[in-house]
Amino acid sequence: MKAGMFHETRAIPGSRSPYELESNVAGLGIDESSLISILGKLHPEQKQSFRKGTRDFFTEDDRLFERWDERHIAQLQHEFLRFKNAMVLWTMHPWERDARLAKEALRKGQQAYGVLVEIACTRSSEELLGARRAYHSLFDHSIEEDVAVHIHGIERKLLVALVSSYRYEGPRVHEETARSEAKILHNAFKAADKTKPIEDEEVVRILTTRSKLHIKAISTHYKEFSSSDITEDLDTELLLKQTLQCLYTPETYFSTVLDSALKDGADETTREALTRVIVTEANNVDMKKIKEEYHQKYGVDLSEKISGVANGNYRDFLLTLVARGD
């Protein structure tokens, strides 16, 4: 039985439908149909038996009063909100959506910096410019200003430059320059024990100004200097690794993020990525690539994985969006 649902475990005297609230409500979304068919049919005496039989959710005080555990109220409310949040994000203008996602990422702090990278590096130059304009209108600050003010660590220089970028999107790539910059990156990555690459001005310059085709050419030339793929040399530098993946292999980045979001025990920030990625990528041609990459990496269809983890209207809406790429 999926988490977030009610399931039958023991008989309630006088009841034709015995139910108990599952103790580990930790799924993604709520099976609304099950709740309606189960709870809507309970009579007063059955509801009393229901409360007494679900001590994980109801507590009894010294007056023998049965009341909800506050933690589980908050948890259920949150799961009900997943569908609403997905609908709101889906209908929102993409520029406003990215601006609000960026604002929320800044509020959450370091664990959400990847969202800023995602917005800055997987959108087109015009889309990022639009998100910056929307941010200015919504919050009376520039996104560059807020990133600079709220981020105090070594990531600040990179992130300010990423959200400020306006990349060339034409077809031209100067191969010799790409090869030269591949060597610069290789040297910086291999010297990580002395100076962190994220603090290297040349690394920041290359990753925040070059076109995506140029970055892809750099990744190809990088193999001339290293036996490893460019991102493999960044396993300990997550933000730089995410930046490179978002710039030239976004399907790899998104499939990894989705897998983390769909794992048991994922924290809430990680889980929220499921809504964010499916909603933002559903209209893009990259959704097909994301699904192919996910299947190749994890051996299961993305839709099948979502069906096994998510519940109710939330699950159905995500599956509808994923299917748009078919």
**In 110-173, alpha helices (H):** 113-122, 125-139, 143-150, 156-164
pLDDT band of residue 28 (cuts 50, 70, 90) is confident
CATH code for the structural domain at 251-323: 1.10.220.10
Domain ranges of the chain: 6-68, 94-248, 251-323
**Dihedral Cα 100, 239, 110, 129, nearest 10 deg:** -20
Per-residue DSSP letter, 127: H
d(CA 312, CA 99): 29
Please check whether residue 67 is in contact with residue 61, taking contact to mean a CB–CB distance below 8 angstroms.
yes
CATH code for the structural domain at 94-248: 1.10.220.10
Percent of the chain with pLDDT over 70: 78
Binding residues for Ca(2+): 27, 29, 265
pLDDT over 60 (residue 225): yes
Nearest C-alpha neighbor of 22 from the set 37, 36, 39, 1 = 1
Instruction: Establish whether domains 94-248 and 251-323 are of one fold.
Output: yes
7-21, 28-42, 176-190, 282-296, range with the lowest pLDDT: 7-21
pLDDT band of residue 40 (cuts 50, 70, 90) is low
Binding residues: 27, 29, 265
Quick: pLDDT tens for 257-291.
Answer: 999 999 988 998 999 999 999 999 988 778 999 99
Quick: pLDDT tens for 315-324.
Answer: 999 999 999 8
Hey, which of 40-49, 62-71, 140-149 has the most confident mean pLDDT?
140-149
132-136, 200-204, 281-285, range with the lowest pLDDT: 281-285
For residue 107, the model assigns a pLDDT of 95
pLDDT over 90 (residue 71): no
Please check whether residue 131 is in contact with residue 177, taking contact to mean a CB–CB distance below 8 angstroms.
no
226-238 average pLDDT score: 90
Find all residues with CB under 8 Å of 260, minimum gap 6, and list them: 266, 270, 273
Instruction: Sort strands 6-7 and 20-21 into parallel, antiparallel or unpaired.
Output: antiparallel
